[in-house]
Amino acid sequence: TYLAPNGNIHDFKLMVRRLHEAGIEVILDVVYNHTAEGNHMGPTLSFRGLDNQAYYRLVPDDRRHYFDTTGTGNSLNMAHPYSLQLIMDSLRYWVTECHVDGFRFDLASTLARQFYEVDRLSAFFDLVHQDPIVSQVKLIAEPWDVGEGGYQVGNFPPVWSEWNGQFRDTIRDHWRGEPHTVPELASRLTGSADLYSDETRSPVASINFVTAHDGFTLRDLVSYNEKHNDANGEDGKDGESHNRSWNCGAEGETDDPEVLALRARQQRNLLATLLLSQGVPMLLGGDELGRTQGGNNNAYCQDNEISWFDWDEVDEDLLEFTRRCIGIRREHPVLRRRRWFFGQEIRGNVDIEWYKPDGAAMEDHDWEGAPRTIGLYMDGRGIRSRDTRGRPIIDDSFLLLISAEPDPIDWQLPEMDGAWVVELDTALPAGVADEVRTVTDDIELVPRSTVLLRFRPADEDGADER
């Protein structure tokens, strides 16, 4: 930003100040794992000319070549004090001088390779954890690189959060109709305890996402089976080829009303799953507007209509749906717990329960070969955390119904003394009807849809309002 034409560091500081005044934190995406000098054939711009072996990892028995775990031609030498000092000085500067609230570390596994393997005890982690400034801000890892053993989702130290690549893959697979996804879907909906519940980590360790700046936008994820990167000048060889996408029956742009309706519902399903899951949701800017890149999943090199936002083509229904999902999440702490579910009684109430379409609770044997539908009950009286004044947090209880089945499903609701208020339904363009809808015994889920129900006890006084 501040190195951009006509820009300066004062503009950046002013931006941070204004965002803070609006209640928005600033997370800086930092790329310390490599530089623009490329491989041994690249230009000499800075570090190569200053001290090549201090700043770059070299192949041990062929020190003319770089040891590359980033896919860019070089990797920073995390075993040398000069490189480590450079990174730590930079991090401290952005916090103390510019007041950013945290960092997202690109290809963070490379930063943990003090020697060959990714090491949780590396010097980089030691320096970060003992630093009185850097250790106090938000630290988010992209927990992989392209080197051997680089995929490290779930393996970063306790103070770190991680981009949860398994969340992305599971949610995409489920909604495109892959079989046998329900058991893993259950883990992703509840914060990925299988990845992060060890030691002192909590659900906020999981940065949940469906799309990111690399890859398809949300609209393209439901519109293309294949990448369309011809404009990038690499004969379509660049970009990820296995995108776990589904075009809903037609590749790319179409005027088929059934395909378009399904695509719209699929976008709402993916957004609802992201924003109603435990953990920290990360929404790609533009997904809430229906932004497309025309099937290009590697548009970093396109400074044109392919990558730009088209403010004249905003999907207003999708934007309103996203607002509603965020509003529900913000209002209800049971949807953003800071401690794990235990499946045990808390204050006389079981904090979580899984249900089948017939209204019965899931048993162990039900998980094998389960259909692509599940019901998640979250009891708002079973939150283990307390508020800032030490009082128990009590919230409403919710039943989240998810079905990726191609046919309608009649859900029998759990027998409870009260009624269920429909808070969200992805069958509707904005996610909710004009009038409050309540159900008691059963509800029909249209094919490939999500419904969020809030329990209203029989003795609850007062009418619901939108």
In this predicted model, what pLDDT tens digit does every residue of 398-438 receive, in sequence order? 999 999 999 999 999 998 999 999 999 999 999 999 899 99
Contacts of 375 (CB under 8 A, 6+ apart): 354, 355, 356, 357, 399, 400, 401, 402, 411
DSSP per-residue string spanning 417-445: SEEEEEEEETTSTTSS-SS--EESSEEEE
Percent of the chain at pLDDT exceeding 70: 96
State the Cα–Cα distance between residues 373 and 193, nearest whole angstrom: 21
Q: What's the token pair of residue 368?
A: 């094998």
* Mean pLDDT to the nearest integer, 267-280: 98
State how far the alpha carbon of 248 is from the alpha carbons of 286, 356, 449, in Å.
21, 26, 14
Please give the pLDDT value at position 348: 64
Percent of the chain at pLDDT exceeding 90: 87
Return the percent helix, strand and coil in the chain, to nearest 5. Answer: 30, 15, 55
* Mean pLDDT to the nearest integer, 371-385: 92
State the Cα–Cα distance between residues 323 and 111, nearest whole angstrom: 37
Q: Which of 381, 379, 279, 394 is nearest to 338 (CA)?
A: 279
**Whose structure tokens read 């570090």?**
47
Pick the more confident residue, 386 or 99. Answer: 99
Please give the pLDDT value at position 6: 65
Please give the pLDDT value at position 303: 95
Minimum mean pLDDT among 259-268, 339-348, 382-391: which range? 339-348
Please give the pLDDT value at position 462: 53
What is the H or E stretch that residue 412 is in? strand 409-412
State the Cα–Cα distance between residues 444 and 442, nearest whole angstrom: 7
* Mean pLDDT to the nearest integer, 111-129: 88
The answer, yes or no, to whether residue 5 has pLDDT greater than 80, is: no
Helix (H) and strand (E) counts for the chain? 11, 18
The answer, yes or no, to whether residue 133 has pLDDT greater than 50, is: yes
Question: Which class is 342-457 in CATH?
Answer: mainly beta
* Mean pLDDT to the nearest integer, 257-284: 98
State the Cα–Cα distance between residues 328 and 400, nearest whole angstrom: 13
Q: What's the token pair of residue 202?
A: 């909590």
The DSSP bridge partners found for residue 33 are none
State the Cα–Cα distance between residues 356 and 338, nearest whole angstrom: 27
The answer, yes or no, to whether residue 31 has pLDDT greater than 80, is: yes
Please give the pLDDT value at position 1: 45
At residue 391, what is the residue type? R
Please give the pLDDT value at position 457: 93
State the Cα–Cα distance between residues 199 and 355, nearest whole angstrom: 30
Mean pLDDT of the chain: 94
Alpha helices for 347-456 (secondary structure H): none
Give the 3-state DSSP-derived string for 253-310, with helices as H, strands as E and coil as C.
CCCCHHHHHHHHHHHHHHHHHHHCCCCEECCCCCHHHCCCCCCCCCHHHCCCCCCCCC
The answer, yes or no, to whether residue 324 has pLDDT greater than 90, is: yes
Question: Is residue 142 annotated as a catalytic residue, yes or no?
Answer: yes
Going by the DSSP 8-state scheme, the letter that residue 172 receives in this structure is H
The answer, yes or no, to whether residue 463 has pLDDT greater than 60, is: no
Q: Rounded to 5 degrees, what are φ and ψ at 361?
A: -70, 145
The answer, yes or no, to whether residue 167 has pLDDT greater than 50, is: yes
Please give the pLDDT value at position 198: 80
Superfamily of domain covering 9-328:
Glycosidases (3.20.20.80)
Question: Is residue 119 annotated as a catalytic residue, yes or no?
Answer: no
Please give the pLDDT value at position 347: 63
Do the beta carbons of residue 382 and residue 400 sit within 8 Å? no
Q: What's the token pair of residue 116?
A: 């060959």
- Active-site pick, 11, 29, 62, 106: 106
- Active-site pick, 37, 68, 142, 351: 142
Q: Where are the domains of the chain?
A: 9-328, 342-457
* Mean pLDDT to the nearest integer, 242-269: 98
Please give the pLDDT value at position 3: 55
